[in-house]
Structures are given as structure tokens and as C-alpha cells.
Structure 1
Amino acid sequence: MTPPVPARKSRIEAALLAELSPSYLNVVDDSERHRGHGGWREGGETHFAVEVVSAAFEGKSRVARQRLVMDALKAEFDGGLHALSVTARAPGE
């Protein structure tokens, strides 16, 4: 029997922890607020909000920070993640 696939939230958390070593990470499945909108599917896990604080963002522009997060989650976007709201800060900001 194959083991169950972890929920998308857990996979997002694991990917961001591995790539960015954040000092703070909050991942929220925001899918229900988007019911009926493009990309929404029954069961959710299509729209997420991420707040992440990481030293990896120091000296980087807002766009560069977002790109780091999006790159870390490429597999999730390829697998059906439709939308991601990102708040990315360096420590002390």
C-alpha cells in the first residue's frame, strides 16, 4: 500500500522550511474565500496565503523575495496550486 500524500499545506511548509530556513512561517489555506473563482476546486488546496520571515530575503527587492518563494513552490504550482499571496520579510522588518 502506498503512503498517503501529505496535504498541500504541509508540502508548502516543508518546501519553504528547506529552501529559506525561515525564522517565522505561517501558511493558510485560503481556498474557501475563492469558491467559484478561477482555479478553485472542490476540496480546496488551490489558494494559499504565506507569511515568511527569512534572512534569505536580506538586501533583496520585493520582487526577488517573491521569486524565491515561487521558485521553492514550483512543484506545487505544477501540481495544481492556483494562487499564492506572499508576504516576505527579512528579520527586523
Structure 2
Amino acid sequence: MKDTITTKLTERFSPTHLEVIDESNKHRGHAGWRESGETHFRVRIATSDFDGLSRVAQHRAVFDLLNAELKEQVHALNIEILPS
């Protein structure tokens, strides 16, 4: 899942900085957590594609791109937009 998220974000936004961090181990036993992992992620991204967009619009762009993953396997996605 981490590779899928990384690939999709890279192809769509051409980020100057991207970190996709699997934080599933921090959520053991919480809602949405599964033994197989890959349920909770943090994304740190910097891209000029977000210049001029509100924070809500930036986050919506990421959520829209990863909609299928969020419906199927990813329970939580924490997004940090960094300056491009």
C-alpha cells in the first residue's frame, strides 16, 4: 500500500518532497487497525501544484486521488502539506 500511495502521489503531483510513513503500528487495537497493517499512514508532501490552493483544497486533492485506497484498506491518512 505504501508503494501504491507513493506512486500515485508522485505521478499526479510531481512533489519536490514526499514521505509516506506507515504508522499502523502506533494504532494497534484501535478502530480500523488490522493485523496485516498498512491501515494508518502519514503523508508529508511539497508540490507547486498546491500553490494558491486553500488547505482544504490541498487535502481534498490528496483524498480524491487516494479514494480507492481509503475505501478498501487505508483507515486513516494524516496529511502534512510542506512549503514547495
Which TM-score band (shorter chain)?
A: over 0.9
Q: Which 4+ stretches in 1 moved above 4 angstroms?
A: none
Give the deviation of 1:80 after TM superposition: 1.4
TM-score by length of structure 2 reads: 0.95
Partner residue, 2:71: 78
Whether the 8 Å contact between 1:47 and 1:81 is mirrored in structure 2 is yes
Alignment of 1:36-47 (within 5 A): 36-47=29-40
AA aligned opposite 1:45: E
TM-score by length of structure 1 reads: 0.86
Identity percentage of aligned residues: 45
Spell out, residue by residue over 1:37-91, the C-alpha distance to the aligned partner (whole angstroms, 9 max, x if none): 0000002100000000000110011111100111111121122110000001341
Alignment of 1:46-85 (within 5 A): 46-85=39-78
Larger Rg: 1
AA aligned opposite 1:26: E
Aligned to 1:60, what secondary structure does the other structure show? Answer: coil
Gaps of 5+ in 2: none
Gaps of 5+ in 1: 1-7
Aligned to 2:32, what secondary structure does the other structure show? Answer: coil
Whether the 8 Å contact between 1:57 and 1:89 is mirrored in structure 2 is no
Superposition RMSD in Å = 0.8
Higher helix content, 1 or 2: 2
